[in-house]
Amino acid sequence: MLTSADLDTLLLTFKVASIATALMLLLGTPLAWWLARTHSAWKGIINAVVAMPLVLPPTVLGFYLLVLMGPAGPVGQFTNWLGLGTLPFTFPGVVIASVLYSMPFVVQPLQAAFTTIGEQPLEAAATLRASPLDTFFSVVLPLAKPGFLTATILGFAHTVGEFGVVLMVGGNIPDKTRVVSVQIYNHVEAMEYGQAHWLAGCLLAFSFTVLLVLYTVLKTQPVTHQLK
């Protein structure tokens, strides 16, 4: 059976994943939009940087974050200067690490969706008096909905399953940074296979439910938009 410590890790995991997904959508949307439309020479570089976590082993990325966010690292010195202390071993630290690590899973589907929309609907909107910002909300967002759906699901799922980075940056502190993937790993390492099975089963069931809801609810929503 699940212990209360196991339940705590489940709860914490979904808290991390929800907040991280919201942040990724917030930051990833303008980034993906820029990447989809720019002809800047920076495009290739930024694309590569965003995709880095796909290539880097999570523990390596985690180690670099540990260095960057630590008291000697530039980010750590900045957060110290702000009076926030350093980020490793804290809940915000884990969220930030998750955001960086799962970002390509949010940015890439969005970028693809924006690219698919193309220039034409934007030009049509401009000739119908819609400013660029207006166009983004009234035309781009509804047209890119499948992309947002994919981005949300992938971002969330990947954060839930994410392990190596959190292990590195989190320090395995109950209720603060001990997420479910770390807990399962610990159970397996400690040869507590029964508990590992239970927790993994719960994780599977919960994730499946969340994804199912996202897919069905968001997909079946009618596309008609009533304008007055």
Q: Which of 31, 138, 161, 211 binds other proteins (CB under 8 A)?
A: 138
Residue closer to other proteins, measured from CB, 85 or 161 = 85
Q: Alpha helices of 171-192 — where are they, by DSSP H?
A: 180-189
Per-residue contact string for residues 178-217; x = within reach of other proteins by CB under 8 A: -------xx-xxxx--------------------------
In the bound complex, what is the minimum distance in angstroms from residue 82's beta carbon to other proteins? 17
Among candidates 142, 140, 160, 168, which has minimal Cα distance to 67?
168
Residue closer to other proteins, measured from CB, 128 or 212 = 128
Q: Which of 2, 67, 202, 211 binds other proteins (CB under 8 A)?
A: 67
Q: Which of 143, 200, 210, 211 binds other proteins (CB under 8 A)?
A: 143
Residue closer to other proteins, measured from CB, 185 or 206 = 185
CA dist 154 and 145 (Å) reads: 14
CA dist 107 and 83 (Å) reads: 31
Residue 102 corresponds to which amino acid?
S
Q: Are 34 and 197 in contact (CB under 8 A)?
A: no
Residue closer to other proteins, measured from CB, 53 or 164 = 164
Angle between helices 42-55 and 4-37 (to 10 degrees): 160
Residue holding tokens 């969220």?
95
Residues within window 103-122 making contact with other proteins, judged by CB under 8 A: 120-121
CA dist 18 and 110 (Å) reads: 18
Q: Are 125 and 133 in contact (CB under 8 A)?
A: no
Q: Does residue number 126 form part of the binding site for other proteins (CB under 8 A)? A: yes
Residues that bind other proteins (CB under 8 A): 63, 66-67, 69-73, 85-86, 88-89, 120-121, 123-132, 134, 138-139, 142-143, 167-168, 171-173, 185-186, 188-191, 223-228
